[in-house]
Amino acid sequence: MPFDHNDHYHPLLLRHLPPHGRTALDVGCGTGRFARRLVAHGYRVDALDADPATLAVAEASGGGPRYRLADAATAELPHARYDVITCLAGLHHMPFETVTRFTQALAPGGRLLVLGCYAGVTAWDLAAIPANAVARLAVYAGERAMGAGADTAPRKAAVREPGMTLPEVRAAAQRLLPGSRVRQLLYWRYLLEFTAPE
């Protein structure tokens, strides 16, 4: 399996979970890898994705999330329900303004965590190129050592090129989610964090 830039950030996201959270929604859950990690952390997890084939793979993997086939940009979301809402590499598949729908589904004090992808090149991205090569090489070497081949790779969720640059993401986040923080990460990613008022 190739190095996965989103899975790489699972530990970071888990460290940003709110204290004492119990209910979670994972938006654009793909094959459900992060949703299952939330379950393993004691959360009751709803996980939604718009692609039936991807969701079928998630459902077949089991692990406890309650899966739902839905378009996050238009589907009805419960009001003030979730202690945490996560969206990993999914927001650029939908209008950025969809974040306001997510915040309405947050319980008081609940937290929105978006692992986002941005367009364009910054100085950090130049640093990411060698890091990326090393990470891919390490995964390849590990697979060779274990005898794994390309035909064993599991199905991956759909990918799409992001349309917003990091400054555009920051500006939109400030406008739509006052008090949010956008932190640039390696591998063309950012972490958007927003905590709903108590």
Ligand X SMILES: C[S@@+](CC[C@H](N)C(=O)[O-])C[C@H]1O[C@@H](n2cnc3c(N)ncnc32)[C@H](O)[C@@H]1O
**Cβ proximity of 23 and 82 under 8 Å:** yes
The minimum distance between CB 65 and ligand X, in angstroms, equals 12
Q: Does 71 bind ligand X (CB under 6 A)?
A: yes
Interface characters, 15-34, with ligand X (x: CB under 6 A): -------------xxx--xx
Q: Indicate which single residue of 38, 84, 88, 192 sits in contact with ligand X (rule: CB under 6 A).
A: 88
**Cβ proximity of 196 and 107 under 8 Å:** yes
Under rule CB under 6 A, which residues in 138-167 are in contact with ligand X?
157-159
Q: Indicate which single residue of 39, 43, 49, 107 sits in contact with ligand X (rule: CB under 6 A).
A: 49
The minimum distance between CB 91 and ligand X, in angstroms, equals 9
Burial code (b: 16+ CB inside 10 Å, e: under 16) for 181-190 equals ebebbebbbb
**Cβ proximity of 190 and 14 under 8 Å:** no
Q: Indicate which single residue of 25, 38, 45, 72 sits in contact with ligand X (rule: CB under 6 A).
A: 72
Token pair of 192 as six digits: 């958007």
Q: Identify which of residues 35 and 182 has a Cβ nearer to ligand X in the complex.
A: 35
Q: Identify which of residues 30 and 110 has a Cβ nearer to ligand X in the complex.
A: 30
Spatial CB neighbours of 173, under 8 Å, sequence gap ≥ 6? 99, 180, 182, 192, 194
Task: Candidates 84-92, 105-113, 137-145, 184-192: pick the segment binding ligand X (CB under 6 A).
Answer: 84-92
Under rule CB under 6 A, which residues in 93-112 are in contact with ligand X?
93-94
Token pair of 196 as six digits: 């709903």
User: What burial class does residue 84 get, using C-beta atoms within 10 Å of its C-beta: 0-12 exposed, 13-18 middle, 19+ buried?
Assistant: buried
Token pair of 34 as six digits: 């992060």
Q: Which residues bind ligand X (CB under 6 A)?
A: 6, 28-30, 33-34, 48-51, 54, 71-73, 88-90, 93-94, 157-159
